Amino acid sequence: MPQVCQRLIARLASLNEYPPGALAIADSDRIRGTAFFPGGFGLWDPDGRTPALPPRPVVIVGNNWGTPKDHEWARKLGAEYSDVWPEKRQKDCTTWWNLLPILRGAGIEPEQCFFTNAYMGLKADNDSNLGDFPTTPTFDHWCREFLAFQLTVLTPSVVVALGMPAIRMLSQVVPELRGWRGPRGGERSFSEIQRLVHPATISSSQPAFSAVAIPHTCYPVNLSPGSKEEIELLRTAAVSVGLLAR
């Protein structure tokens, strides 16, 4: 397992109390193959071998992992998603089904990425992984600090926010992304946010990364036909930090 994953898991273990409606994920239950952190190891891992993470990965930040029912389903299969699964099963994994064409369309392979979430744990409501994650001010604060810790140890080249919860939390932990918040702390539209992409840093001792916001990929539609703007935005961000050639 990459050392960075070990550091994240060790820090996550210090979270002793989850809010009502949220559940911790035991180390023994973590998905061994491809999966977002903390449900799995945050890696694109078709073989279940926990491959090495490349230096300065693209960090994908979603809302939350999902429900216990979905987690158990993926754990039994050994992954959240696989390129070799039948298309019907792939489409059940709507975040992956919608996200991968954007990444690959921009010239970024999933092996170059670390996949994580703003909120840790599982959403105890088995009916849906959509909507707000159950939280408290104390839990919110812990997750913000943990997201900052993730960015510090991962030293990303590009950070991609999937949806408003990730956008909101990133704007609270990365000073240069405060512009993602609207007037008086309100929310901007995606089109406004996408015009406000800037180089950003989590600390003065680390190299800058580019930050990108794309529409929520969890809804059951295929974004790939209408995602040209997102693909171009992501490609531009990757070129700006030298991840891709001009």
* pLDDT tens, position by position, 110-150: 999 999 999 999 998 867 777 789 999 999 999 999 999 99
Tens digits of per-residue pLDDT, 59-104? 999 999 999 999 999 999 999 999 999 999 998 888 898 899 899 9
Task: Tell me if 246 is assigned to some domain.
Answer: no
Lowest mean pLDDT among 99-108, 159-168, 197-206: 197-206
The pTM score is: 0.92
DSSP 8-state symbol, 187: B
Q: What angle do CA 13, 19, 21 make, to 5 degrees?
A: 115
In angstroms, rounded to a whole number, what is the distance separating the alpha carbons of residues 151 and 49? 24
Task: Tell me if 126 is assigned to some domain.
Answer: yes
Peptide bond preceding 38: is omega within 30 degrees of 0, i.e. cis?
A: yes
Number of domains in the chain: 1
> 87 is in which domain, residue-wise?
3-240
The CATH code of the domain that includes 142 is: 3.40.470.10
Q: Is the pLDDT of residue 196 over 70?
A: no
